[in-house]
Structure 1
Amino acid sequence: MAIPGERREGPGHPPRALELHPAASAVARTAAYLALRRSLPGPGDSLTVGGAAGSLPLAALAALVADLPNRLWVVVAASPAEAGRHLADLDTLLGPEAAVHFPQQGDAAAGEDAHAEVEGERVEAVESILSARVRVMVATRRALQELAPIPDDLADLRFTVVTGRELRRDALISALEERGFERSPMVEEAGHYAVRGGLIDLFSFGAAGPARVEFRGDEVESIRLFDILDQRSTEPVKRIDILPVRFGGRAEGAQRTPCSILDRLPLDAALVRAGTEPWDAGSRRLWRRTETRYREALRDHNPATPPATLFLAPDALAERLARFPHLTFVEEHVGSPVFQARRPPAFERRMSRLRSFLAGAAARGAETCILCDNDGQARRLDDLVADRRGQPPPGCHLVVGSLASGFCVEDRQPSVNILTDHEIFRRDRKLRRGRRFRGAAALESLAQLSPGDHVVHMEHGIGRFRGLERVVIGGESIEALVVEYDGGEVLRVPVYRLDQVERWVGAHPGDQPARLHRIGGKRWKTLRRKTESAIRQMTAELLELYATRRSPPRAPRPPPPPG
């Protein structure tokens, strides 16, 4: 049983030492951060921090996470889109395993069901919190108000299978069914299982990949991980933990009283937000809307769910929120402490403005860190800012990573500018959170591909590379990779999105994937429209970036050592 307020370390999962990202390091060496560190609020107290421009709030949080590794931080977002931006920032600042997402459910009052991946992600988040494997959770205000039968103990959440232990095959099948797993001929995604004689393949949420359980009579003879792409076994493991696909399945104890995720947090967990909206903003509006739908459903003699079984009432939400420490970051210079920070100027794709800014920063002795989406973008931008001798301005460093917005920190010496390439080029930021396929190798150049090679698209799975072709969008001709999928369907990927495609690599030379993935399921209905939209979005940037390729590429310079 979890003890309220006690932060436990999971077995075999001690806090991972963090190396501060340059953006977080820049914030951590300011007087305002040191004052923040000394004056963190306790349970029921609040603190407002001013001057938090751009992504500085997330950078400051990353520094706090590194300083206080045993504490849980809950970032409260106003919307799913804002939550996605915060998660992407934290992936850059802390690494992809330091933060989890507790997404909001579908609108049950409107008859919407949450997608299985959403439910599974919620289960993963709770398991990570109960086992103390994460330091940061991101959730929307609505997700905090929602009710679900969330367990308070790992034993109620996990079903463990151990090699050599007694377990009947049918008992495991029953356990999987009770936990919401779907039976399929072949396991290709989380939440599915397959039975083949004395073997059971399964893929649990919270696992890095699928597992194959082999039985001898009523005993587990072996457990092996396997590659989801070619279905071949890879390595043996001693045990696996199986999580339910969703809360409230048919498993024993599932009929527990619904509660908010706030009821499962340690009392010293700090709630963090950026902005001045009330912590419970929108809660009364959501409650009124749910009540209205409930009354309308009853009037029309339709199935209806009482609001009190779906959400915390507004007053109950306010009472629970008041239990925790509150940390609010605002851009205005109010509150205490106050960072002396501002947003960078708008460069509007004008390299002359960028060079002038970098020259001025160098003259003042300031350091500048430019975050780039990938190595190729870093090399191209390195060429753009270099002088006639091919040297960048003093104190300018390019680092692979991404933040929602840059910021300039001036209350430290030397001052530091954090810039982002997507703001420099005035384009939308690309968010890349999600599972990557196993058995894939990074693709750095088109020269590594030949027609007929198998490739893995980050979102769409295994296909066969057929070559290059030019696509005309808005009168501009752009080169694209042609990838064929099962059934002859074709996906065209702009070469600028080469980072989304990887070369498929089997366990042994000459291996072939079990089969190509098929286009046409739920995730593929808007594929062609999305591809064309992506090409349109990148057209202007491509034209400018292609012009920089006349200069020989040079490796980006490493960031300065922390100090």
Structure 2
Amino acid sequence: MTFKKGISSLKNALEKGKGSISVISEAASGSSIMISEAVRDISRPLIWICPDKKQFLERTRELQNILPGRVYPFPSYEHLVFLPLIPSPENSASRITALYNLNERRDPILVIQASSLLERVIPAAELSANAELIMAEEEIERDQVARWLVEAGYEYLNRVERVGEFSVRGEILDIFPPGHELPLRILFFDDLVEEIRSFDPVTQRTVSFLKEAILLPAREIVYSDKRVAAAVRHVIEQAKTLDLSASDVNSIIQNLEARRDTENSLSIMPFIYGELDDLLSYAPGDTILVIEDALQCQRNMEAFSERALEAHFQQLENQRLLAEPEAYYASPSSISGRLESLSRVFLAPGRILASRQQSGFSPAAFDVEIETGITRNESLPVAQATFRKGTEFFSSFASRLSRWTDQGKRVFILYQEKDARKRLEGLLEHYEIVFQSLDLQEEAGALPGFDRLADLQAPGVYLLSGFLAEGFTDLESQVVFVPDHELFTFKHFDTRRRKSRKRKVSPVSISDIREGDLVVHRDHGVARYMGLTTMSANDIPGEFINLEYRGGDRLYLPVDRLGLLQRYVGVEGREPRLDKLGAGTWSARKQKVKRAIREIAHELVDLYAARKVRKGIALSEPDDMYRQFEAAFPYRETDDQL
């Protein structure tokens, strides 16, 4: 079967509602193109299930390149949800965006890891109820919007830069909601929305004007008054069964009533909503499932479930307030059984044998079997080359290009950046290989449809902007895809020299520091972290970071000001002297460093000025060997290196 016929067969099978379809392809990237082409005009949701994180990242980028605007990654949490850790705002935003589009759109494509099928998520009804539509020239109570933002997990800051942040300055509301590539600026006149703009968070300049915008919660927990009251009751009931101390329970309740996002927030989700949904609860009955390496997906899902159960038991041993394990994760067997009611496309490099033990990951029989005729490219010589002086490591690939074109093949070399295209053009010209740079994209960076590429009748080499995780050949259509990252991944000849490791100062995370560790406060200097303390400020209970300074002085820093702290990085084996609060030694030390930096800057300016006026030595133009080395350089240059 030809590749184009395979696309047609798959599309017909999906339109007829076939339950289980097998697609045989040596290269998963070929399957990505085939399935994308088959569903391009089908208005049905699709969930692409990957066995692990590596495939999840590759397939996400690949599908977003083929079908831009329809593909939403649904990343797993970086940790088990009941562990005392706070997920990144970007992770939470991606999950919320994917869930909302699966719930509201007719044709979204979600990419997930198999383990994500087990995760409990915000109920679909709650997410729909908390999606706020704001329209220009509409009246809306500003204070009510600000209250909702706090309940929906947004962080109030003076300047909005990351997703999940908002700020209020007079008549201007800045907000960076999930589902938007840029933050929004909403201009009010009293309670009338005058304008909605997207803006660049770096320059703060307007990028575009919008007529309306949907504001989604920044996380999966929305602290409405009703939900907080219910959560408090459930926490008290569960605490009685676990025999927890009153102080621990009071701390949890205070955080709930203060709508404070803490490392325990995700573990409280079952108490807030009562009963959670899972990803399949969002999926309508006509959803298409694409299962990549079904056996490995099932194994990884079962292994994840076992780890979660063991970790849950350990957390209960540590006196953590938790719901039952099934409140956080569904069982693999229950998920597998529910998959059987949906259309499933199974991807594998070879023929999949039907299973006697029928399940969502192993059907008893296939309704349709499609062999794509796709083969992986032979390992490219450039990719395995080691660079030695005098070696023309691109010449072997140039020879293969000539052989492919002599055989009547159309070779598409995919590049990801304009600089990569220029380097490729220079190398192809050097080897006198005739090529053509294509500009067939309907959207910037999007890979054009396979039909448009296959219709190019003339054999030859074509440069095309796009990304595929791996190259492949369609023997019937005589089409070869070669992504540039397979061309220019090579090993350096001399690996004996040890690379110096730069010491990096990273922001503090409560989960990563222990009592007694040294930290640096931006305004007060070196201190010792002494743990978290619950205190009341203006009769409002809150959690504070306890910092000890020289002489026993204490500074209690609210946890929402954690960004003022950094790890202490100094000479190993030498204990630094703590700063003293109010003594001015830290300010003096900072001023001394600033003066030293200014002196170095002046010296550098003088040095470059002297270089400018001195007569230099003119070097010859870079030769072909240099051009090949430059094209194969596996790292992205910074602006100051170019």
TM-score, normalized by the shorter chain, greater than 0.5: yes
Question: Which residue does the alignment assign to 1:125?
Answer: 98
Residue 328, structure 1, aligned to residue 346, structure 2: yes
The alignment partner of 1:402 has SS state of coil
Question: Which residue does the alignment assign to 2:275?
Answer: 257
Shift of 1:146: 0.2
Number of aligned pairs?
422
The alignment partner of 1:332 has SS state of coil
Question: Which residue does the alignment assign to 1:424?
Answer: 487
The one-letter code matched in structure 1 to 2:73 is: H
- Structure 1 residue aligned with 2:317, among 272, 276, 299? 299
Shift of 1:417: 1.0
* 1:28 and 1:60 in contact (8 A); partners too: no
Name the CA distance, whole Å, in 2 between partners of 1:261 and 1:60. 25
The alignment partner of 1:123 has SS state of helix
Residue 88, structure 1, aligned to residue 43, structure 2: no
Name the CA distance, whole Å, in 2 between partners of 1:425 and 1:405. 13
Question: Which residue does the alignment assign to 1:140?
Answer: 113
Residue 179, structure 1, aligned to residue 163, structure 2: no
Shift of 1:51: 2.9
Question: Which residue does the alignment assign to 2:469?
Answer: 404
The alignment partner of 1:273 has SS state of strand
Pairs within 5 Å for 1:216-365? 216-233=189-206, 236-251=209-224, 255=273, 257-277=275-295, 279-332=297-350, 336-349=369-382, 350-365=393-408
The one-letter code matched in structure 2 to 1:302 is: R
Name the CA distance, whole Å, in 1 between partners of 2:165 and 2:58. 29
Shift of 1:402: 1.8
Shift of 1:424: 2.1
The one-letter code matched in structure 1 to 2:152 is: R
Name the CA distance, whole Å, in 1 between partners of 2:102 and 2:334. 23
* 1:109 and 1:290 in contact (8 A); partners too: no
The runs of 5 or more residues in structure 1 that have no matched partner are 1-26, 429-472, 478-486, 488-519, 527-541, 552-563
Question: Which residue does the alignment assign to 2:36?
Answer: 62
RMSD of aligned C-alpha atoms? 3.6
The runs of 5 or more residues in structure 2 that have no matched partner are 228-271, 354-368, 383-392, 437-458, 500-521, 523-562, 570-621, 632-642
Identity %: 21
The one-letter code matched in structure 2 to 1:402 is: F
Name the CA distance, whole Å, in 1 between partners of 2:137 and 2:332. 50
* 1:130 and 1:152 in contact (8 A); partners too: no
Q: Deviations for 1:373-408, whole angstroms, at most 9, x for unmatched residues?
A: 223222322333447656349511111222110001
Q: Deviating runs (4+, > 6 A) in structure 1?
A: 41-44, 473-477, 520-526, 542-545
The one-letter code matched in structure 2 to 1:87 is: T
* 2:163 and 2:178 in contact (8 A); partners too: yes
Choose 1 or 2 for highest CA Rg.
Answer: 2
Q: Mean alpha-carbon deviation: is it higher for 343-352 or for 397-406?
A: 343-352
* 1:370 and 1:399 in contact (8 A); partners too: yes
Question: Which residue does the alignment assign to 1:101?
Answer: 73
Question: Which residue does the alignment assign to 2:420?
Answer: 377
Shift of 1:177: 0.6
Shift of 1:83: 0.8
TM-score, structure 1 length as denominator?
0.67
Q: 1:427 to 1:204 in 2, by over 3 A?
A: farther
Name the CA distance, whole Å, in 2 between partners of 1:231 and 1:323. 49
Name the CA distance, whole Å, in 2 between partners of 1:150 and 1:28. 44
Shift of 1:107: 1.3
* 2:375 and 2:473 in contact (8 A); partners too: yes
- Structure 2 residue aligned with 1:50, among 6, 24, 30? 24
Q: Mean alpha-carbon deviation: is it higher for 165-174 or for 248-257?
A: 248-257
Pairs within 5 Å for 1:190-229? 190-229=163-202
The one-letter code matched in structure 1 to 2:147 is: S
Shift of 1:204: 1.1
Name the CA distance, whole Å, in 1 between partners of 2:48 and 2:626. 39
Question: Which residue does the alignment assign to 2:532?
Answer: none
Q: Mean alpha-carbon deviation: is it higher for 210-219 or for 140-149?
A: 210-219
Name the CA distance, whole Å, in 1 between partners of 2:374 and 2:282. 36
* 2:72 and 2:109 in contact (8 A); partners too: yes
Question: Which residue does the alignment assign to 2:241?
Answer: none
Q: Deviations for 1:281-334, whole angstroms, at most 9, x for unmatched residues?
A: 333332232222222333343333421111111221112222211101111256
Name the CA distance, whole Å, in 2 between partners of 1:73 and 1:474. 48
The one-letter code matched in structure 2 to 1:115 is: S
Q: Deviations for 1:196-222, whole angstroms, at most 9, x for unmatched residues?
A: 233322221112322233444444444
Shift of 1:141: 0.9
Shift of 1:264: 0.5
> Which of the two has greater helix per residue?
2
Name the CA distance, whole Å, in 2 between partners of 1:367 and 1:390. 13
* 1:342 and 1:407 in contact (8 A); partners too: yes
Q: Deviations for 1:421-443, whole angstroms, at most 9, x for unmatched residues?
A: 22122359xxxxxxxxxxxxxxx
The alignment partner of 2:464 has SS state of strand
Question: Which residue does the alignment assign to 1:547?
Answer: 627
